[in-house]
Amino acid sequence: MQVDDCLFCKIARREIPSEVAYEDDEVIAFKDTQPIAPVHLLIIPKEHLLSVNEITPEYEPLIGHLFGVIQRLAQELGVTESGYRVVTNTGADGGQVVGHLHFHLLGGQALNAKIG
């Protein structure tokens, strides 16, 4: 299911332009418009899930697949060996701004211990 007024659903539907790095039937990855590192992608399920809180067991294959996509993108972007960080902000205290589950892939430089 997708949500009409969700920013990332609109990106998934290609209604809002983005720099897409990967796409398949279940997952899309695109560049963050305000990157905080040389590599900064957002990887999302196309299905609208609000946050980690909505990852019930039926979504385990999807999330496993999504992490396979993250591995592949890390390889393509050359950060597999140098290292990278996957961040998922959840809820207000977690600093989540966009209410559609997303994983930040950050790398290309030594990252500060603290993000956000």
Residues that are catalytic: 102
Beta carbons of 4 and 42 less than 8 angstroms apart: no
Q: Minimal distance in Å, beta carbon 105 to ligand AMP?
A: 11
Helix (H) or strand (E) holding 45, with range, is: strand 39-45
Which residue's CB is nearer to ligand AMP, number 61 or number 112? 112
CB of 92 to Zn ion, least distance (A): 18
Which residue, chain included where needed, has tokens 């007024």?
Answer: 5
114 binds ligand AMP (CB under 6 A): no
Name the DSSP class of 59.
G
The contact set with Zn ion (CB under 5 A) reads 3, 6, 8-9, 48, 100
